[in-house]
């Protein structure tokens, strides 16, 4: 019988997601990687339990997570819930998404139609053994479906009781403003945009998405805050042959130039001065953006979660540290 840590809520910071009443942990667990059909269930369960014991209440999924078998991440969450976590459902914030290719035919390909979104959520709820999810996202902007249809579908899903809040993901600021206007008219509880953001991927600043979030009152849930593992100590001495990048398993291999590796080492020196790892520094830096409600981390073992959570307690950047980091990042950008 699983008994969670009784002190799990005493240290983790919780932030309101935009202007909503929903508070999310500063660090959340994403199930994009390492929760697939072929991964070890005991390790997955240990990661989820470790996260919860540390105060992580928010778990992020999508219908297509679990490559190569779409949906297997949600199926694995059901197994974990059934093995002791389901008793704590009301203490969990479970999110899932739909929008990318999921099943054969015109109704399961990449889109934002009502047909796709309603059917996909029904499938997700069945896979997870849930009556509702806390947040349901449209996963990617669809230029071939009117935003009114997507917004109305999400609004209807909330009214049906199958989701409490709605979000969007991979929408830029202009797309967000357009659909947010519709949500406002419908009084839909739109609270979050899930976007990529990191020290070396600052597009939301250039696009003003973070300023849009602050002005319009929705939160940002950030994924890939470590840029697929680049912002860790894994690549300080180059690209190991046994790494995912070394094996050519990720699209970011070309970004690891000599200049970028120098940047990583310079950032690592700042981290060391603060008593942090490079990964912890990178997470703390993202969390220091006031528009960010939560950072979604990925993990392959419980100890990574324990290490990453420490970043939530170190947002005390001095003016000198901020200036040093900005200089390092500016030099990196100038050379790319």
Rounded-to-integer distance, Cα 106 and Cα 144, Å: 12
- 86-91 long-range contacts (CB < 8 A, ≥24 apart) are 86/129, 88/4, 88/52, 89/130, 91/57
Residue 202 has pLDDT above 90, yes or no: yes
Q: Determine the pLDDT at residue 246.
A: 56
pLDDT of residue 251: 61
d(CA 147, CA 152): 8
Alpha-carbon separation of residue 107 from 23, 30, 119, 124, 270 (angstroms) = 34, 26, 9, 16, 49
Cβ contacts of 81 within 8 Å, gap of 6 or more: 89, 128, 129
The domain covering 14-230+280-316 belongs, at the CATH homologous superfamily level, to: NADP-dependent oxidoreductase domain (3.20.20.100)
336, pLDDT greater than 70: no
Give 281's contacts (C-beta < 8 A, 6+ positions apart): 267, 268, 270, 271, 274, 311
Is residue 222 over pLDDT 80? yes
pTM of the model: 0.95
**pLDDT (tens digit per residue) in 281-291:** 999 999 999 99
Tokens of 84: 């002791």
> What is the model's pLDDT at position 257?
86
- Cβ atoms of 59 and 22 closer than 8 Å: no
Chain segment 137-156, per-residue pLDDT in tens: 999 999 999 999 999 999 99
pLDDT tens for 258-273 read 899 999 999 999 999 9
What the block records as the tokens of 303 is 């100890």
Are the CB atoms for 170 and 195 separated by under 8 Å?
yes
Asked if the bond preceding 68 is cis, omega within 30° of 0, the reply is yes
Interatomic CA distance for residues 283 and 278, integer angstroms: 9
- In angstroms, the CA 217 to CA 44 distance is 34
In the chain, the percentage of residues whose pLDDT exceeds 70 is 96
């Amino acid at each position: 019988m699983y008994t969670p840590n009784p002190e799990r809520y005493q240290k983790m910071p919780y932030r309101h997601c935009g202007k909503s009443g929903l508070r999310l942990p500063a660090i959340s667990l994403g199930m994009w990687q390492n929760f697939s059909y072929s991964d070890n269930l005991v390790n997955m369960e240990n990661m989820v339990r470790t996260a919860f014991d540390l105060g992580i209440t928010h778990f992020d999924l999508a219908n297509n997570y679990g490559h190569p078998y779409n949906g297997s991440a949600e199926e694995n969450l059901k197994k974990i819930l059934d093995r002791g976590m389901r008793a704590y459902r009301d203490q969990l914030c479970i999110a899932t998404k739909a929008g990318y290719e999921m099943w054969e035919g015109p109704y399961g390909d990449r889109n934002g139609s009502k047909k796709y979104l309603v059917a996909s959520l029904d499938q997700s709820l069945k896979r997870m053994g849930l009556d509702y999810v806390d947040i349901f996202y449209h996963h990617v902007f669809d230029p071939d479906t009117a935003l009114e249809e997507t917004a109305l579908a999400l609004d209807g899903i909330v009214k049906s009781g199958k989701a409490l809040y709605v979000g969007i993901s991979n929408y830029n600021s202009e797309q967000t403003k357009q659909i947010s206007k519709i949500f406002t008219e419908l009084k839909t509880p739109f609270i979050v945009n899930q976007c990529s953001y990191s020290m070396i991927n600052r597009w939301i600043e250039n696009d003003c998405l973070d300023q849009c979030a602050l002005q319009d009152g929705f939160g940002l849930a950030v994924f890939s805050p470590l840029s697929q593992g680049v912002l860790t100590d894994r690549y300080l001495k180059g690209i190991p042959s046994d790494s995912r990048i070394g094996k050519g398993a990720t699209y970011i291999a070309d970004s690891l130039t000599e200049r970028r590796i120098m940047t990583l080492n310079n950032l690592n020196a700042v981290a060391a001065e603060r008593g942090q790892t490079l990964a912890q520094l990178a997470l703390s830096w993202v969390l220091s953006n006031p528009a960010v409600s939560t950072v979604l981390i990925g993990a392959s073992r419980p100890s990574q979660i324990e290490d990453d959570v420490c970043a939530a307690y170190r947002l005390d950047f001095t003016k000198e540290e901020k200036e040093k980091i900005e200089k390092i990042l500016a030099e990196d950008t100038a050379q790319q």
